[in-house]
């Protein structure tokens, strides 16, 4: 392997050892930085080109990186690699309400892009719970989902085109800037969810839609998981479905309430948070959602009267990740199953975890069937750790068995890599690797992650 300690590019390198270590890991469970790696914080596309030229010439692995909020290990440094961080490519180049597009550097923080669109009364819908810190580039590379997918879909539904720097330094422009185009193969789609394995994204052209109304929220609690799951199915069948439909089970609610009083009643089996943002119909929609949930056994229903109350009701959901961290070390699953399979996932998932002697909380984007079971165990205890990971694997298998996917939105990275083949099969993995070789013939882009592992 080449000596990365003697870089031949002029892009800025992080020299402080402590700072460098922080760039060695993402937010995945138990991530550890390797001993030997370089961190480049690219200032512009030229820096990226230079690094990708050098990396290919010297066969140095490159780990593209955004804000390191990823939960699957895809942005973790590997021994002898260059971490190529794109946070500083953070210019919002255009918000164009006429074309309905926004053009941004990959390092633009998701929330900042959403705010910029709002100024022009436009809306960039993708809304990962990490929006305040994740980057648009990272969102594209993971095909991030979030809280409002039930109505608006995922990041892939909003990406019109990209600029990408390939290994060797070639710049490729994919997709379209215009409203329509029928010119050639859809290369943009290949980069969505590619987790840094094909090249480095240096510009994102995103579709914007007219801004909706400020949402209102309904909070409903249930005595049984089945009742909550049936209410989700009924809400999905509403002719004007919600823009947000989040699910929390009893242990998730207890964790949130242990953090602060967010107004969730204790002791209920499940809670649903539901929103409408349909212009001119927000109050009417939320009242109807409340009635639907009452008809399906909701024991308590709280309806926000204004945007402030709506935010307050959602605050507990937004605090969930912090609350679960405060409860203890936990490994987050990210399974998406057909909506009707939700009760089975919750019941059977709990039983699988109990069989391994580990606790689990069930919560997530229930309206999409995208749950994030969080498995609690002691990572320092080898036996507890083995049981925790065994439960994690069993939950992945359960998702596949129910016709779902092992990742609804977080991607595969290293943590899920052992299970990908089980879901997609040998033939698909082989084709993914062949496609990678077209863009990255020497395999320097994020090797060892997702389908390359």
Ligand X SMILES: Cc1cc2nc3c(=O)[nH]c(=O)nc-3n(C[C@H](O)[C@H](O)[C@H](O)COP(=O)(O)OP(=O)(O)OC[C@H]3O[C@@H](n4cnc5c(N)ncnc54)[C@H](O)[C@@H]3O)c2cc1C
Residue from 56, 135, 163, 414 in contact with ligand X (CB under 6 A): 135
252 lies in the binding site for ligand X (CB under 6 A): no
Instruction: Specify the DSSP element, H or E, that contains 286.
Output: helix 282-295
Please, what is the minimum distance in Å from the beta carbon of residue 445 to ligand X? 8
149 lies in the binding site for ligand X (CB under 6 A): no
The Cα–Cα gap between 227 and 236 comes to: 14
Please, what is the minimum distance in Å from the beta carbon of residue 426 to ligand X? 23
47 lies in the binding site for ligand X (CB under 6 A): no
Please, what is the minimum distance in Å from the beta carbon of residue 429 to ligand X? 17
| Tokens describing residue 180 | 């329509």
From the list 366, 417, 367, the residue with the least C-alpha distance to 392 is: 417
200 lies in the binding site for ligand X (CB under 6 A): yes
| Tokens describing residue 281 | 């119909």
Task: Give pairs for 111-116: CB < 8 Å, separation 24+.
Answer: 113/206, 116/92
| Tokens describing residue 382 | 């080898």
Residue reference for tokens 């070789």: 437
The Cα–Cα gap between 236 and 245 comes to: 9
Residue from 24, 61, 138, 448 in contact with ligand X (CB under 6 A): 138
The Cα–Cα gap between 229 and 216 comes to: 21
Please, what is the minimum distance in Å from the beta carbon of residue 144 to ligand X? 3
448 lies in the binding site for ligand X (CB under 6 A): no
215 lies in the binding site for ligand X (CB under 6 A): no
Residue from 40, 71, 390, 406 in contact with ligand X (CB under 6 A): 71
Q: Of 301 and 453, which has the nearer Cβ to ligand X?
A: 453
Subset of residues 14 to 43 that bind ligand X, contact rule: CB under 6 A: 26-27
Longest dimension (CA), the chain: 68
Q: Of 19 and 355, which has the nearer Cβ to ligand X?
A: 19
| Tokens describing residue 220 | 């409903």
Q: How many residues bind ligand X (CB under 6 A)?
A: 36
Q: Of 141 and 335, which has the nearer Cβ to ligand X?
A: 141
Task: Report the relative pairing of strands 159-165 and 216-222 from DSSP bridges.
Answer: unpaired
Please, what is the minimum distance in Å from the beta carbon of residue 198 to ligand X? 8
69 lies in the binding site for ligand X (CB under 6 A): yes
Residue reference for tokens 């993995």: 429
Q: Of 147 and 352, which has the nearer Cβ to ligand X?
A: 147
Q: Of 137 and 329, which has the nearer Cβ to ligand X?
A: 137
108 lies in the binding site for ligand X (CB under 6 A): no
| CB contact at 8 A, 26 and 75 | yes
Residue 25 neighbours by CB distance under 10 Å: 18
225 lies in the binding site for ligand X (CB under 6 A): no
The Cα–Cα gap between 438 and 417 comes to: 21
Residue from 25, 40, 52, 74 in contact with ligand X (CB under 6 A): 74
Residue reference for tokens 């009452």: 294
What does each C-alpha distance from 54 to 8, 12, 166, 182, 245 come to in angstroms? 7, 14, 12, 35, 47
SS3 143: coil
Task: Report the relative pairing of strands 62-65 and 82-85 from DSSP bridges.
Answer: parallel
Q: Which of these segments, 59-67, 211-219, 303-311, 376-384, binds ligand X (CB under 6 A)?
A: 59-67
Q: Which of these segments, 61-69, 166-174, 209-217, 307-315, binds ligand X (CB under 6 A)?
A: 61-69
Q: Of 106 and 329, which has the nearer Cβ to ligand X?
A: 106
Binding mask 370-409 for ligand X (x = CB under 6 A): ---------------------------------------x
Interface ranges with ligand X (CB under 6 A)? 26-27, 63-71, 74-75, 86, 106, 128-130, 134-135, 137-139, 141-142, 144-146, 195-196, 200-201, 321, 409-410, 446
């Amino acid at each position: 392997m080449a000596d990365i300690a003697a870089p031949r590019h002029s892009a800025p390198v992080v020299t402080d050892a402590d700072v460098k270590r922080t760039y060695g890991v993402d937010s995945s469970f138990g991530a550890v930085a390797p001993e030997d790696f370089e961190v480049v914080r690219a200032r512009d596309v030229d820096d990226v080109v230079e690094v990708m030229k050098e990396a290919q010439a010297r066969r140095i692995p490159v780990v593209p990186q955004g804000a390191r909020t990823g939960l699957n290990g895809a942005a973790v440094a590997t021994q002898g690699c260059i971490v190529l961080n794109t946070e500083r490519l953070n210019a919002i180049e255009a918000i164009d309400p006429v074309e309905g597009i926004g053009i941004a550097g990959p390092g633009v923080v998701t929330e900042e892009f959403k705010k910029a669109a709002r100024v022009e009364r436009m809306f960039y819908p993708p809304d990962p719970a990490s929006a305040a810190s994740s980057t648009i580039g990272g969102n594209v590379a993971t095909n991030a989902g979030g809280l409002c997918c039930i109505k608006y879909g995922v990041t892939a539904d909003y990406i019109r085109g990209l600029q990408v720097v390939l290994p060797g330094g070639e710049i490729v422009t994919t997709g379209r800037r215009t409203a329509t185009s029928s010119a050639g193969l859809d290369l943009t789609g290949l980069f969505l969810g590619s987790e840094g394995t094909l090249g480095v994204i240096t510009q994102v052209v995103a579709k914007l839609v007219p801004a909706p109304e400020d949402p209102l929220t309904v909070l409903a609690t249930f005595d049984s998981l089945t009742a909550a799951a049936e209410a989700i199915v009924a809400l999905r069948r509403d002719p004007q479905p919600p823009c947000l439909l989040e699910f929390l089970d009893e242990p998730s609610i207890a964790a949130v309430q242990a953090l602060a009083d967010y107004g969730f009643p204790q002791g209920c089996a499940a809670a649903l948070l539901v929103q409408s943002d349909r212009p001119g119909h927000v109050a009417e929609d939320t009242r109807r959602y409340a009635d639907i949930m009452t008809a399906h056994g909701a024991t308590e229903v709280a309806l926000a009267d204004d945007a402030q109350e709506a935010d307050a009701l959602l605050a507990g959901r937004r605090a969930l990740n912090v609350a679960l961290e405060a409860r203890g070390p936990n490994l987050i699953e990210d399974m998406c199953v057909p909506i009707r399979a939700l009760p089975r996932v919750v019941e059977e998932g709990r039983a699988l975890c109990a069989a391994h002697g580990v606790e689990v909380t069930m919560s997530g984007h229930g309206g999409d069937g995208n749950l994030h079971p969080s498995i609690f165990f002691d990572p320092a205890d080898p036996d507890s750790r083995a049981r925790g990971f065994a439960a994690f694997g069993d939950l992945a298998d359960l998702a596949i068995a129910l016709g779902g996917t092992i990742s609804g939105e977080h991607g595969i990275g290293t943590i899920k890599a052992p299970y990908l083949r089980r879901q997609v099969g040998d033939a698909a993995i082989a084709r993914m690797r062949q496609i990678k070789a077209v863009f990255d013939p020497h395999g320097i882009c994020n090797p060892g992650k997702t389908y390359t592992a």
